[in-house]
Amino acid sequence: MALGPYRLHELINSGGMADLWLVSNQREEACALRLLHPRLRFNLRARRRFIQGCEILSRIHNHNQVIEYQGHGKIDGRHYLLMEYVEGANMKEMLNLSDPLLVDRVWEILRDMALALEHVHESGFMHLDYKPENLLLTRNGQLRLVDFDLAMPAPPRPARLKSYGGTFSYMAPEQLLRQPVDHRADVFAWGVTAYELIARRRPFQGETAEEVLRKQLDRSQDFLLPRELNPELSAAMEKVIMRCLERDPDRRYPFMSVLIREMEAAP
């Protein structure tokens, strides 16, 4: 099936905002084509998010741990984003399958997770939807951060957002409380994702945003330290993860570069 200059080969994934296709371009190179759902064609908010995500990615993609941007626009009336094709799976899928790669290369994956977020922040943006589903891993463990639909410029100081979208299991308390937010909300999300990678469960279990928030604020219930679930984790690395999970943003890492420095010093 053809769409403009691209041949569509396989539907890779279908999300709430868009479909992701494996396509080939006019040079017969494999690419990933993200297409906004037709039902959202006249949804101004969805279109604005999709286009903003494309534009942000176009400005920050020149990094090994961020998906490569190749172009965006409209084809036959549908908004699209063209990216590099990564042969692999997202971390959520790999966690569900207990993929041994997540054990064999866990330190490198944690480091690359942090490097991707450091680059986003140093480029002046917040991701605001950082989670395993948005981390692609190649077969040899190379990581790519994707999906910048909710990303926005980072404010110089915490600011209220016009909308607080995201996945509640990975959102910081200040997001769930609709309080002012800055890049440290991503630091919290990195901590939740790192905890899940290490412990194979999220730190704050809950079926609703309210339940997750309650457990974030009161950890006397079923919260377990990551080393209680994975004794192979070093005490120093546990300390790094737990600092990211602080309820108060001022107690988290101020910058991902500081986190990376402490990670590299951890045994």
- CA dist 206 → 72, 96, 124, 170 (Å): 37, 18, 32, 11
* b/e sequence 101-128, b meaning 16+ C-beta within 10 Å: bbeebbeebbbbbbbbbbbbbebebbbb
- Residues 204, 176 contacting (CB under 8 angstroms): no
Say if residues 192 and 229 touch (Cβ distance below 8 Å): no
- DSSP string across 227-259: HHH-TTS-HHHHHHHHHHT-SSGGGS-SSHHHH
Residue 139: per-residue pLDDT? 87
- Distance from C-alpha of 175 to C-alpha of 164, rounded to nearest angstrom: 6
pLDDT at 41: 87
Domain ranges of the chain: 2-84, 88-265
State whether CATH 3.30.200.20 applies to domain 2-84.
yes
**Quick one: pLDDT at residue 138?**
92
**Residue of 129, 149, 182, 186 marked catalytic:** 129
Q: Is CATH 3.10.20.740 correct for 88-265? A: no
250 is catalytic: no
For residues 99 and 60, the answer to whether their CB atoms sit within 8 Å is no
What are 21-72's pLDDT values in tens digits? Answer: 999 998 999 999 999 999 998 899 999 999 999 999 999 999 999 999 999 9
- Pick out the chain residues at pLDDT < 50: none
Report yes or no: 260 and 118 within 8 Å, Cβ to Cβ: yes
Q: What is the pLDDT of residue 1?
A: 83
Alpha-carbon distances of 157 from 47, 124, 249, rounded to whole Å: 28, 12, 12
Query: How many whole angstroms separate alpha carbon 135 and alpha carbon 181?
Result: 22
What's the confidence (pLDDT) of residue 197? Answer: 98
Tokens describing residue 158: 């915490």
